[in-house]
Amino acid sequence: MDEKKIMLSGIKPSGDLTLGSYLGAIKHWKERADEFDCYYFMADLHAITVRQNPADLRRRTMEQLAQYIACGLDPEKNTLFIQSHVHQHAELGWVLNCYAMFGELSRMTQFKDKSAKNADNINGGLFTYPALMAADILLYQPDYVPVGEDQKQHVELTRDIATRFNHLYGDTFKIPEPYISKVGARIMSLADPTAKMSKSENDDPGRVTLMDDPAFILKQFKRAVTDCDACVRYDPENKKGISNLMTIYAATTGKSFAEIEREFDGQGYGTFKTAVGESVVELLRPIREEAGRLMKDKAYLESVCKQGAEKAGYVANKTLRKVYKRVGFVAK
Ligand code: TRP
């Protein structure tokens, strides 16, 4: 019997993974591989709630898988899969749509933000997105769902839906906890340190992706928005840009904020920005090179996602069968 606790998370392949995706999420996932039974997926069903170019979506989904592996997620230890390969997600998503209330869905801040940004395409999927996300989660009966602050509301709704369902039909779903890591949880945009570093290019000129080349990364850090008092000091209230750079530097070097303040005492921002940029170049170099190599090995990537989908499908199917029975569907 496997006694390990279960963890699950997903990222939409709607943009290229960034330094923020790595420091805020994937790096922590990697550290959990031995302690937990982990499921990570490419949330392609969710990606199409916003218009995607099909060729780009296909490329990014495979690239995201290559990058997960290059970041250190070992496919032998973690179950890595593509959401659309496990049809139970869409099926349970439909069922849970019938247990998610219009009022609840209307209150989701991500829905409000996205409908404001995509006023010409406020589709049904964008609205019912949290019911599909609840299905993604509940299929695997996880204990924890590591997510960013922005997804906490969706995990809370998942808990409400699961509780409602359990109440109506008896214990069916485990009630999961959101798992929000403290360190490096939120890497902000280099162009606007009040906003999270975004995956989509159109949204964020101040992002660094995992596949960016060193010259571009250094340029991005050189032009990072800061303030004008020329003092490297951690003060997330008044010095958001510098504090963000310090968070990044602390994550790449393992140094404390106090050590960083001492290291750059009296040196001005230019030297500091260059040092942060160089540390990021070195952090991302092996990831970029390994992901590039894996992208050329299509057969390997296909075997990983096939194996992942089989394992995920087996677990997902057990939950789905139980749900179908509980709601009164005739067994086939
Ligand atoms: N909604 C998440 C995001 O936008 C992605 C996601 C989809 C997810 N399904 C999930 C995250 C299940 C955690 C668990 O980033």
What pLDDT is stored for residue 185 in this prediction?
61
Closest by Cα among 330, 326, 317 to 169: 326
Question: Which contiguous run of DSSP H or E holds residue 307?
Answer: helix 298-327
Rounded Cα distance between 131 and 139, Å, is: 12
What pLDDT is stored for residue 3 in this prediction?
81
What pLDDT is stored for residue 1 in this prediction?
52
Contact 308, 80 (CB under 8 A): yes
Q: What type of residue sits at position 175?
A: I
Cα 257–chain centre separation: 26
What pLDDT is stored for residue 94 in this prediction?
98
Residue whose CA is at the smallest distance from ligand 1 atom 15: 11
To test ligand 1's pocket by mutation, which of 42, 129, 151 has the most ligand atoms within 8 angstroms of CB?
151
Tell me the helices (H) and strands (E) count for the chain, helix number first.
Answer: 14, 5
Q: Residues with Cβ within 6 A of ligand 1?
A: 8-12, 43, 46, 133, 136-137, 145, 147, 151
**Strand (E) positions, the chain?**
5-11, 36-42, 78-82, 144-146, 177-179
What pLDDT is stored for residue 204 in this prediction?
86
Domains and CATH numbers, the chain: 5-179+297-327 (3.40.50.620), 214-292 (1.10.240.10)
Cα-Cα-Cα-Cα dihedral sign, residues 17, 18, 19, 20:
negative
CA of 207 to the centre of ligand 1 (A): 20
Q: Is 152 a catalytic residue?
A: no
What's the average pLDDT block by block, 10 residues per block, for the chain (332 residues)?
A: 86 94 92 94 97 96 98 97 98 98 97 92 96 98 92 96 98 95 77 89 87 97 93 94 96 95 94 98 98 98 98 98 98 90
Cβ atoms within 10 A of the Cβ of 108, count? Answer: 17
What pLDDT is stored for residue 118 in this prediction?
87
Phi and psi, residue 271, nearest 5°: -60, -45
What pLDDT is stored for residue 201 in this prediction?
67
What pLDDT is stored for residue 332 in this prediction?
87
CA of 151 to the centre of ligand 1 (A): 7
To test ligand 1's pocket by mutation, which of 126, 136, 199 has the most ligand atoms within 8 angstroms of CB?
136
What pLDDT is stored for residue 316 in this prediction?
98
**What is the signed CA dihedral for 270, 274, 277, 282, rounded to 10 degrees?**
-170
Q: Is 117 a catalytic residue?
A: no
Cβ atoms within 10 A of the Cβ of 79, count? Answer: 22
Active-site choice (4, 12, 182, 196): 196
Residue whose CA is at the smallest distance from ligand 1 atom 6: 10
What pLDDT is stored for residue 269 in this prediction?
95
What pLDDT is stored for residue 89 in this prediction?
98
